[in-house]
Amino acid sequence: MRVVLRGRAYAFVIAASLTCLRPAVAQGLQLSLPITVVDSVTGLPVADAQVLDLRTRVSALTNKSGTAVLTLPDSSEALITLRKVGYRPLTRLVTAANRVNPVTVSLVPLPQPVPGVVTSGRPGAPHRGPADTLRTLELNGFYERRRRTGAPTSAFVTEEKLSRLTTLTDLRHLTGRGLCAQNLYVDGMRVRVDRSLYSWLRPDRVAGIELYTHAPEIPALYNVTLPSGSSAICATLIWTK
């Protein structure tokens, strides 16, 4: 039996055939991009650095060897940004040639402040810090969340209180609230907790801290799902100077 297709019916069959073919073609358009991150001063690998493709929002953390692999839709180029606490953020354009030649990127360490130099305020005074510190907190929504989240005043630690601390681990004694290691953000980026983090994040480098110890308090943006699949029950947001 011979079937003759005319007009719209013919166009429909052609369109349906192309639709069926697209997934098969798209599945093959993948680019595995290996990236190695090193310290520009020591040349040593940088672990736990975030590598993010700004176009697709695909991200990965570098391993102990400083290497991460991004699996991206194949294209002629990708714009990636690299971030790690204690280093200057870096954005770089990566081309298709890097499929053959892996990318090696050097992150520049931030200068360390002079030990012992801190700003302080009179206990109990309505002191919110220097203008630049105040601006940093305002731009990141610190004071807006203090008004709207329902968390108590003790959850919001400003520079005046931080000047009383030796290390950030003393926060519980000062506020009654501790750091949330499993859901910790520094300047809006989720980070893993290790010894180097606390040695770099001294109180004199911090503009403000938000300590959310109960799930209902956590702002929606930072109420992530943990790897185990359970919702976060706490969160700590640290904003640096």
Instruction: Specify which of 78-82, 170-174, 224-228 reaches the highest per-range mean pLDDT.
Output: 170-174
- The pLDDT value given to residue 65: 92
- The pLDDT value given to residue 227: 54
Question: Do the Cβ atoms of 238 and 185 come closer than 8 Å?
Answer: yes
pLDDT tens-digit series, residues 21-73: 333 333 445 667 888 999 998 899 999 888 888 777 788 889 999 998 888 77
Confidence grade of residue 229 (pLDDT, cut at 50, 70, 90) = low
Question: Do the Cβ atoms of 127 and 160 come closer than 8 Å?
Answer: yes
For residue 125, pLDDT beyond 70: no
- The pLDDT value given to residue 32: 77
Q: What is the DSSP letter of 232?
A: P
For residue 124, pLDDT beyond 70: no
Distance CA 120, CA 166 (A): 13
Give the closest residue to 218 by CA, choosing from 165, 164, 151, 159.
151
pLDDT tens-digit series, residues 70-120: 887 766 667 788 888 888 888 887 766 555 566 889 998 877 544 433 333
Give the closest residue to 113 by CA, choosing from 208, 237, 200.
200
Beta bridge partners, 156, equal 210
Q: Count the neighbouring beta carbons within 10 Å of the beta carbon of residue 130.
A: 13
Question: Do the Cβ atoms of 234 and 214 come closer than 8 Å?
Answer: yes
User: If you write DSSP's letter for every residue of 23-40 in order, what string do you get?
Assistant: HHHHHH-EEEEEEEEEET
Instruction: Specify which of 8-17, 24-33, 155-164, 183-192 reaches the highest per-range mean pLDDT.
Output: 155-164
Domains annotated on the chain, with CATH: 29-107 (2.60.40.10), 131-240 (2.170.130)
- The pLDDT value given to residue 142: 93
Give the closest residue to 188 by CA, choosing from 128, 131, 140, 116.
140
Please indicate whether residue 231 or residue 79 has the higher confidence score (pLDDT).
Answer: 79
Please indicate whether residue 141 or residue 7 has the higher confidence score (pLDDT).
Answer: 141
Distance CA 107, CA 39 (A): 5
Please indicate whether residue 36 or residue 191 has the higher confidence score (pLDDT).
Answer: 36
For residue 212, pLDDT beyond 90: yes
Give the closest residue to 145 by CA, choosing from 225, 231, 208.
208
- The pLDDT value given to residue 27: 44
Distance CA 184, CA 226 (A): 11
Confidence grade of residue 221 (pLDDT, cut at 50, 70, 90) = confident
Token pair listed for 53: 């493709």
Query: Residues of the chain with pLDDT > 90: what percent?
Result: 15
- The pLDDT value given to residue 145: 92
CA 33, chain centre distance (Å): 20
Q: What angle do CA 40, 166, 238 make, to 5 degrees?
A: 60
